[in-house]
Amino acid sequence: MQAAEPANEAKVKECFQFAPEMTRDARKDGGEEQSEPSCTLSVKQISYTVSERVGPWWDLPSYRKRWTRQILNDVSFHINSGQIMGILGNSGSGKTTLLDAISGRIGHQGTLLGEVFINGRKLKREEYQDCFSYVLQSDNLLSYLTVEETLTYTAQLALRKHTAKAIKKKVAAVMAELSLCHVAHSVVGGRIFPGISGGERRRVSIASQLLQDPRVILLDEPTTGLDSMTANQIVVLLAELARRNRVVIVTIHQPRSELFRVFSRIAIMSCGELVFCGQPEEMVSFFSQCGYECPEYCNPFDIYVDFTSVDTRSIEREKATLNRMHEITSAYQRSDIYQRMLRKIEQSLQQEEKPAIPFKSKESPNGAVKLEVLLRRTARNLSRDRMGVLMRLFQNLIYGLFVAFFLMRLDDDVTKGAVQDRIGIIYQCIGASPYTGMLNAVALFPALRAISDQESQDGLYSKWQMFLAYIFHSLPLSILSVFIFTSFLYWTVGMHPDSLRFLCFSAVVLVPHIVGELLTVVLLGVVQDPNMVNTGVALLNIAGILVGSGFLRSTQDMPVVFQWLSYLTFQKYGCELLIVTEFHELDFKCNSSRFLPGSCVITQGSQIIDEGYPGALSRYTLDFVLLYAFLPALLLLGMISFKIRDKLIRH
């Protein structure tokens, strides 16, 4: 099949006569006509299959059976630097999976076959992320930072050898390249916080990638959700980026017909197959020769995607449209366009002097510097959330107000609840403070986790470094919040009036609060759904109180297995410590006018310690050490959890 004919060229002109003249075509500038392309990307026979269960879990016989689903089928193409390729196709046709496969971000669930070559050199799997920049469909930007700050922190994470001045220059250059200078000092914003526009956000995402000077940029639906004018501007901008000696591949839904002149290559996908890949003019002539003309004044992108899509609304339609799709795919594979492309791949693989693989700038700083940058970035971003900071600082205090209002003032008279009320306060302090920690983590960490998933795939840092940065940033706030809470509660309700005991009390209550937050973040490493983590931490806390506190059932009376389990709970050490802190050397009164048999048996706090927590006084220091040992243990567990996440989540 011939690629282009004069008659068809006339048709092309006719078809797009309404399209305004674009500035300059990336293709004409640096594409086919470029004599010595500095970078070539060849994708050879990429196939991806996944094994899926046939039915839902509630239909056990079909759930047990599996079938193999072909997501990508033998996809090959070749593109040079200076060119921009648009991948079109209906929803579910495999566009995103193709980009994931090319960039090495595909999950472990399926079987990936095929090879990717840069400058004719085969890429190893571990080299993918050092070679490609990938702008995801949903941008995860830090909302309270300005555009300039966002890019500066990214540059600090990516570029070690650069001085502060060089980083500033680099950020300014990238902002100029992406026309972001006018919003440099504007806050990025997000769903609940207004900031820059959607189009500007996309450009910030692209700018973040450009900081590492990638030669191959992949973008998944960068125009989704944007109005058509902004979408056009983004694609024209991408074409300009391509013209500066880069390969740009972009998946796109419903591009406007004007963009016909902007793309150097158009690929159309359907059901995981590459139905067509060639120059836009070749596309029109190819489809015409197949008998599928683009009607006058119609957008060829829409028309050709429609021709190649499978309509599943009825079995008859599905059969007919699937046949049509296969017919067009076979015609493409027999065409000169396809054969020429295969020859280019072979030429590129067989050239004698293959240029080196152009990796992204790999001058990332050492782990400690990355952690420091992440810590500064997280602290600056979250500290600008005024309501968030206020809630964080005063949530414990608000809870303390409830308790204080309920109890008013502790009494020394055992007949007026001197023992019961004190135990109640200790129970509330140990039982409730993990929840406030958990709520903080569930509200704040998932957004940071999404950012770290993306940035760790870009090779900027490891996921566990974001985990540590979040925990370290939260420590001063947690300490302050607990101190405000205990300062109020301790003195208002009238606990043991001794400053040292107050400090010990605060130091003990701090741990469950931090453990609640830490445990939640640790679980968020391996469990994606924050609601499940929420429930899990709440249940663990309840179980810990039941087994460890000794309030609901005396530890000595519990079965041996629970006694052993209690040693694994921070509640055991926390409760023992608070009981000793409050009851040691405390004398009670007994109001004889309300005398009930047995009510005046307890006259000293030490009786409570000896009966309920024998030996707790002598274990005071050890209990403190064991209680605080939960913090480094959970930090370690968190690092392991986020290393597991590296394996579980590809992006």
Kindly state the tokens that stand for 205: 């995402």
Q: Which helix (H) or strand (E) holds 365?
A: none
Q: How far is the CB of 228 from ligand ATP (least distance, A)?
A: 17
Question: What are 273's strand-pairing partners?
Answer: 270
Q: How far is the CB of 212 from ligand ATP (least distance, A)?
A: 25
Give the Cβ contact number of residue 529 at 10 Å.
11
Three-class HEC string of 256-325:
CHHHHHCCCEEEEEECCEEEEEECHHHHHHHHHHCCCCCCCCCCHHHHHHHHHCCCCCCHHHHHHHHHHH
Kindly state the tokens that stand for 28: 């004409």
Cβ atoms 571, 549 nearer than 8 A:
yes
x/- track of binding to ligand ATP for residues 52-71 (CB under 6 A): x------------------x
**d(C-alpha 298, C-alpha 275), whole Å:** 20
Q: How far is the CB of 206 from ligand ATP (least distance, A)?
A: 19
User: Among residues 277 and 578, whose Cβ is nearest to ligand ATP?
Assistant: 277
Residue 543 DSSP SS3: helix
Cβ atoms 76, 45 nearer than 8 A:
yes
Q: If binding is defined by CB under 6 A, does position 96 make contact with ligand ATP?
A: yes
Q: If binding is defined by CB under 6 A, does position 92 make contact with ligand ATP?
A: yes
Q: How far is the CB of 307 from ligand ATP (least distance, A)?
A: 17
Cβ atoms 204, 180 nearer than 8 A:
yes
Kindly state the tokens that stand for 156: 């600090």
Question: What are 566's strand-pairing partners?
Answer: none
Q: If binding is defined by CB under 6 A, does position 107 make contact with ligand ATP?
A: yes
**d(C-alpha 448, C-alpha 517), whole Å:** 14
User: Among residues 213 and 311, whose Cβ is nearest to ligand ATP?
Assistant: 311
User: Among residues 221 and 258, whose Cβ is nearest to ligand ATP?
Assistant: 221
Of 89-97, 168-176, 431-439, 604-612: span binding ligand ATP (CB under 6 A): 89-97
Q: How far is the CB of 510 from ligand ATP (least distance, A)?
A: 43
Catalogue the long-range contacts made by 330-333 (C-beta closer than 8 Å, 24 or more residues apart).
331/1, 331/286, 331/289, 331/290, 332/274, 332/275, 332/276, 332/277, 332/286
Among 97, 232, 364, 486, binds ligand ATP (CB under 6 A): 97
Q: How far is the CB of 236 from ligand ATP (least distance, A)?
A: 22
Q: How far is the CB of 220 from ligand ATP (least distance, A)?
A: 7
Of 104-112, 178-186, 525-533, 639-647: span binding ligand ATP (CB under 6 A): 104-112
C-alpha distance from residue 341 to each of 5, 85, 333, 512 (Å): 19, 14, 10, 63
Q: Which of residues 26-45 bind ligand ATP (CB under 6 A)?
A: none
Among 30, 31, 82, 89, binds ligand ATP (CB under 6 A): 89
Kindly state the tokens that stand for 240: 């300009």
Among 27, 95, 162, 246, binds ligand ATP (CB under 6 A): 95
Of 4-12, 84-92, 145-153, 345-353: span binding ligand ATP (CB under 6 A): 84-92
User: Among residues 49 and 599, whose Cβ is nearest to ligand ATP?
Assistant: 49
Q: How far is the CB of 254 from ligand ATP (least distance, A)?
A: 11
Q: If binding is defined by CB under 6 A, does position 249 make contact with ligand ATP?
A: no
Cβ atoms 496, 581 nearer than 8 A:
yes
Kindly state the tokens that stand for 44: 């050879």
**d(C-alpha 480, C-alpha 495), whole Å:** 20
Q: If binding is defined by CB under 6 A, does position 255 make contact with ligand ATP?
A: no
Q: If binding is defined by CB under 6 A, does position 94 make contact with ligand ATP?
A: yes
Among 109, 138, 339, 618, binds ligand ATP (CB under 6 A): 109
Of 94-102, 383-391, 453-461, 583-591: span binding ligand ATP (CB under 6 A): 94-102
Of 28-36, 91-99, 114-122, 294-302: span binding ligand ATP (CB under 6 A): 91-99
**d(C-alpha 468, C-alpha 154), whole Å:** 18
Q: If binding is defined by CB under 6 A, does position 91 make contact with ligand ATP?
A: yes
User: Among residues 94 and 512, whose Cβ is nearest to ligand ATP?
Assistant: 94
Kindly state the tokens that stand for 245: 């000696």
**d(C-alpha 390, C-alpha 392), whole Å:** 5
For ligand ATP, how many residues bind (rule: CB under 6 A)?
14
Q: Contact residues for ligand ATP (CB under 6 A)?
A: 50, 52, 71, 89, 91-97, 107, 109-110
